[in-house]
Structure 1
């Protein structure tokens, strides 16, 4: 875990360290005048976090130290014609973490841990990732076995690019990317080993002997921008016969469809128990036909849909349509008890974050957007 912080979105380019760091990024920046000052909007959380680290009393005993921000928003001045859907935006939300490490060995350990988190996000979000490892020739010569080790642990082929000289603030970085429906990369998680910024921002600690150390810093975005994550997930659905999101992320995980008004109370009771079991379940109590309710549940990509009629009310057994096992125009249905339905959802969501249903449980009370 990291220490959550909030940093400004606007910075004064009259600050030498900020101006130098901004110049290291090739991405176009929003720059403007405020009175007689040259200003910029951030494109990452580096500037604020490094300023915090500069002002801290840092002990080697507390390292590695991580600062984390879900930076809403960051900005890049993309030109007309370059903005593409959710893939390339002028304003975006970036989970951003910076880790102050004690030394090179500590940086390697933290780098490996954070890269593993990046791979895991692709697995959890069901967006398979590919990767490229970039480093300087000096770094490769010194840590070749370590590099090959993390590539082997990834379980997928990775491109290794070796640069003859260091031209960036980093000496090693990994970029992970999902692949869109046209075979193009959507760059998402990244981990970078920075050997310049501690000097530039005068971030330091002292050894027991009094030696001043400017330590390595890791830049990490465990998912990449939230918008690109959504883009990758939507692109992934293009290859699915029946498109769906991971059950743990589905806004409604279970929808209960009463056949008639007399079944609504029974459906509400089941919905309440599912909600109590940390499952997002709602009830389509609207005065619509059963077929329309089922069709709209499909349009909402609800993972589990159970129709509640006389038989279900009498036996307690539910006929459940499971979206991930369905084929186009051939829904997969399975008879389950309420307990079995809970177990099925829990199996898919085990170990994942949970938030309760954020819309009314009854669809008749839910606002509809056209």
Structure 2
């Protein structure tokens, strides 16, 4: 027999976040109720609240359409207007199995529940398997809107059936919902996938595979400039650059621990001549082998090994997105080998200072620091060595505090071998992503039996700092596309200036101007199309080229050009010498604006 439970909640007494969670969870139930009216044989998945609203997963006999969303939304409003009470009840396993015998996903969820912890939630004629957390009646559900339809695998696994997911937005006021919709529109406008396609920066081809980015000439130019800059920056700060293979024997990753802790995220094994090889998911084992290949004295430390290293990680299909989450990536990676904790702290501090300098050059300011910790009880995910974890976490916490950086702590977000500082940023879509990490590692030096010669001639174990600086090239360029909305500063712009001859007879002079600029390593193009001048200017603006130089009879006679900037401004006529001086200075100082 079902046993009614008291589930009344005083909404005025809880925080706004708690209140919204209750409202959003309740709205998901009302959505499922409406779906069963629209498609009676719908198979129900789950319907949790999320940060901006709710979703519900269904397996349906047909694909959903935008018209369906409108119908479902109206049906939900009818249920809300009826103020149906939400009633929780405790049921036996037998009752639940009978109730859900036609719903395979609910039966699957039942397997995870203990016999004394099975509860249902009912409103109107609809019942769901639910642990609770609702408003008192449907009338307490505020403003909402069904936003989109997406695909999702049951329990997030590609091995399970694919479902249709409906996302809804829900806020307490119309103003908050409108602000959220405006944020989404801004995100669509800045979306690096759209801008990257429009500006022909990169592409993704089904024949090449999801998450395998193809850099087109314009995007490759941006990447090349970033790589040259960051390598020079690292050389100035004492890093030695190496190039290592993207593949290694499986034994290397068994020894490092990646095989045990990271295998599911690795590409399948390749076997040839009785040996098994893996595409590397990380660069660190290769750099460790370089250090271990010869004996080093304490006098040589810290030893900084850097590489723009390709890595391969089998991200799930549902998580792959543009260039921000890919399967093949190039990380601006480095490993710093230190003799003691004091040296580690100095190096971590130096990394954070260098990173802040680099971000300042790029104009990136909206990021936060996260201290990512392990879980001492999860020995499957993390190396079992409590003293090592305590020492590493305390070390990174001290550095953050000494630098007076605001940070928050996040349990269960560490690397398998040690804690880390993650630099978090928000994408244009509002999603929190890790840009770079700084990790302290006492574990891998032991795995690889690394040693250095101490001052007294003995042997000691080094400590490794794993660090990025710019993140992967893919994720950094995705971020910069959204940051600049495709209007890259001069030093990064694929084409830095467009030379626009007014008429065909001015093309030879335009070519002379272009040659002059190219001799100073400036990237310029001459628009020789048989189009009107204004059409050529418009094309250059759409391509977000920083400068347009218009040349005609007067400019040719005076050896000048008329300058325009992509935002629509007109800088007037300038001599070629002054133009070269202006552009070279702007490029070399990496100015963010003209």
- Report the TM-score, using the length of structure 2 for normalisation: 0.52
Quote the offset at 1:278 in angstroms: 3.0
How many Å apart are 1:205 and its aligned residue? Answer: 0.3
Q: 2:402 aligns with which of 135, 149, 156?
A: 149
Contact 1:320 / 1:334 at 8 angstroms: preserved in 2?
yes
Counterpart of 1:43 in structure 2 is 281
* Number of equivalent positions: 336
Q: 1:46 to 1:16 in 2, by over 3 A?
A: closer
The counterpart of 2:521, out of the listed 278, 286, 291, is 278
Equivalence for 1:234: 481
Q: Which residue of 537, 542, 551 corresponds with 1:294? A: 537
SS of aligned partner of 2:409: strand
Determine the structure 2 residue equivalent to 1:348: 586
- Superposition map of 1:120-131 within 5 A: 120-131=357-368
Range with greater deviation from structure 2 (310-319 or 202-211): 310-319
- Structure 1: runs of 5 or more not aligned: 153-157, 354-370
The corresponding residue for 1:169 is 417
CA positional deviation for 1:275? 1.9
Distance in structure 1 (CA, Å) of the matches to 2:453 and 2:413: 30
Structure 1 position 53 matched with structure 2 position 301 = no
* Higher-RCO chain (CA-CA 8 Å, sequence separation at least 6): 1
Q: Which runs of 5+ in 2 are unaligned?
A: 1-234, 374-388
**Cα distance in 2 between the residues matched to 1:131 and 1:332:** 35
Change (3 A) 1:339 1:250: same
Cα contact 1:186–1:228 (8 A) shared by 2: no
| Aligned equivalent of 1:223 | 470
CA contact (8 A) 1:137 1:163 kept: no
Matching residue of 1:108: 345
Classify 1:184/1:344 alpha carbon distance in 2 versus 1 (closer, same or farther; 3 Å).
Answer: farther
Alignment correspondent of 1:361: none
Shift of 1:150: 2.4
Structure number with greater Rg is 2
Q: Which range moved further: 15-24 or 54-63?
A: 15-24
Q: Does 1:94 align with 2:331?
A: yes
CA RMSD of aligned residues (A): 2.8
Deviations 1:70-112 (A, max 9, x none): 11x3111112222111111111122211111222222222212
Q: CA deviation at 1:279?
A: 2.1
CA 189–151 in structure 1, closer or farther in 2 if over 3 Å, else same: farther
1:304/1:322 contact within 8 Å kept: yes
Of residues 548, 553, 556, the one that matches 1:313 is 556
* Distance (Å, rounded) in 2 between the aligned partners of 1:26 and 1:305: 51
Verify the 8 A CA contact 2:256 2:285 in the aligned structure 1.
no
In the TM superposition, 1:143-222 aligns within 5 A as 146-152=399-405, 158-161=406-409, 168-171=416-419, 173-222=420-469
Which TM-score applies when normalising by structure 1? 0.81
Distance in 2 between the 1:92 and 1:219 partners? 17
